[in-house]
Amino acid sequence: MEKTKLKKSKKIVNSLVRSYLNYRFKRISHFMEHPRQVQHMVRNSLIEQAAGTQWGQRHGYQSIKNYADFTQRVPIHTYEDIQPYIERMMRGEPDVLWPGVTTYFAKSSGTTNDKSKYIPVGKDNLDDGHIQGSWDSVVLFYQLRQNAAIFLFKNIILPGSLSHLEQFPKAKIGDISALMIDNMPALGRAFYEPNTEIALLASWEEKIEKAAQLLSKRHDVGMFGGVPTWNLILFRRILELSGKEHLLELWPNLQGYFHGGVGFEPYRQQFKELIPSDDFSYLEIYNASEGFFAVQNDFQQHDMLLLLDNGVFFEFMPLSEYGRPNPIVLPIEDVELDTDYAVIISTNAGLWRYHLGDTVRFTSLKPYKIIISGRTKQFINVFGEELMVHNAEKALSETCQELGATVAEYTVGPRFFTSEEKGGHHWVIEFEKRPDDVEKFAELLDLNLQKANSDYEAKRFKGMALERLALTEVPPNTFFGWMKSRNKIGNQNKVPRLSNSRDYVNSILKFVENQGS
């Protein structure tokens, strides 16, 4: 009787939620139809709210009348530029970059700097940015999947943890997933697993083991979210404990995966093996520590709809301008298709014309849709080849598909010119499913890279400028062990994909050598 009542109440909740999501979809439709007007309203609102802050007074926000004024008063900033302001906020000082006192800060390690960054996440940013973006993701999932029933079942998200720093006792620190779980609305909490005690554990190994022990006994999971790497580790442990061959044997109602944080293509085949169904839906989201930026709105296309009214004013710097003293920066109405842009944001957390570090490429201007093409510090251009992450992942995905292989993790660095040989790229790959012939895999990967990037193809022509890529295969669990050895475990830490230096390649190879000695 109790189970019947519970099932009935869940159906009522799911029906009410669907009605609410249909209402919210009207707001999404509005910014899709009027992107320029919405973005200008967001910019004006941000400036008006921050006019009385220390930052706003210093930059004359009170007298900013238009976009030209804004760009003249406020230069482009990096994290290092505003770090002193953020540290004052972490000490509890009010009205610094944004009105009021900010108590939450997202820890973002980045992949090219060992020093952690602490991004302010005020209540406005959390409620009207991250949490609203999460709802937008659910809205679009329900629009795309007519039988969606997330609120009939439990939903899994494995976040990071929360902590305090001794020098900033008033600040609560964690990755953005942990901050969102800690502030999850009551409605969402009722449908969430694991419990917050397990979810916010500091030790990832303990968290995964306890979550696996709990979830291996549940049979009513409908959706999960998060970074692919940690979900794969969790799910494999769950299957080991449950004795099932794949997740649908344990969770027959599984409908979707909201994924983000890293490029998904290297992991797609692994998830297809864990969830062997054509009726399972993958939805990519773009939620960074600094804001919730975009959501996939078509299951058949891998680009994402830019969210234009979630407390973020967007600007875009052509990658050709990156590093120049006075770079050209464009508002959204001036961007073009098929051009790589560095993302510049102003947000309701107090980040002003902030250089995010990500690069995107527009795939549509009506509505505005993007793919994440890489990071400004994660590309290879040692030889003028301008290889971006999306080029590498496209070529890798096609190679795996053709040869029936699966890649667990990878990173790429250059092989520099010497007196004896030309330069090239050096791939370090950990296979989940090894190809029959690794040498053939390397040859085909090089050809697919040439197809994906015309500059790389030109440099590879007859081997005149670049030799064929070199591939080093490393043992299973190498990347996990390497990341752990660098204290880089958790959602905010991602394996660096491309680098203009050999630092990561050499570090991994040294780690493997030490493991074998």
What is the residue-wise DSSP string for 205-258? Answer: HHHHHHHHHHHTT---EEEEEE-HHHHHHHHHHHHHHHT-SSHHHH-TT--EEE
Residue for token digits 């998060």? Answer: 226
pLDDT for the residue 112: 37
List, in sequence order, the alpha helices (H) in 275-353: none
Q: How many domains does the chain have?
A: 2
Domain residues for the domain of 470 are: 389-516
Task: For residues 360 and 422, state if they share a domain.
Answer: no
Task: For residues 147 and 258, state if they share a domain.
Answer: yes
Task: For residues 366 and 425, state if they share a domain.
Answer: no
112 located within any domain: yes
Task: For residues 348 and 435, state if they share a domain.
Answer: no
% of residues, the chain, pLDDT over 70: 94
Provide the CATH number for the domain around residue 494: 3.30.300
Residue at a domain's end among 334, 352, 377? 377
Task: For residues 364 and 399, state if they share a domain.
Answer: no
Q: What is the 3-state secondary structure (H, E, C) of 364-404?
A: EECCEEEEEEEECCECECCCCCCECHHHHHHHHHHHHHHHC
pLDDT for the residue 4: 56
382 located within any domain: no
466 located within any domain: yes
Could you tell me the two tokens for 8?
A: 């009935």
Task: For residues 371 and 327, state if they share a domain.
Answer: yes
Give pLDDT < 50 ranges for the chain. Answer: 1-2, 110-114
**Contact (Cβ atoms closer than 8 angstroms) between residue 469 and residue 426:** yes
Task: For residues 265 and 242, state if they share a domain.
Answer: yes
DSSP 8-state code for residue 77: B
**Contact (Cβ atoms closer than 8 angstroms) between residue 215 and residue 155:** no
Could you tell me the two tokens for 69?
A: 């004024």
pLDDT for the residue 30: 96
119 located within any domain: yes
Task: For residues 437 and 370, state if they share a domain.
Answer: no
Task: For residues 225 and 325, state if they share a domain.
Answer: yes
Cβ neighbours of residue 435 closer than 8 Å, sequence gap 6 or more: 403, 404, 405, 441
64 located within any domain: yes
383 located within any domain: no
Residue at a domain's end among 345, 377, 409? 377
pTM: 0.81
Task: For residues 342 and 412, state if they share a domain.
Answer: no
- The helix (H) or strand (E) run that includes residue 169 is strand 168-174
Residue at a domain's end among 377, 412, 445? 377
Task: For residues 340 and 434, state if they share a domain.
Answer: no
Residues 197, 182, 155, 243, Cα dihedral to 10°: -30
261 located within any domain: yes
CA 209 to CA 233: how far, in whole Å? 10
Task: For residues 3 and 148, state if they share a domain.
Answer: yes
pLDDT for the residue 115: 53
38 located within any domain: yes
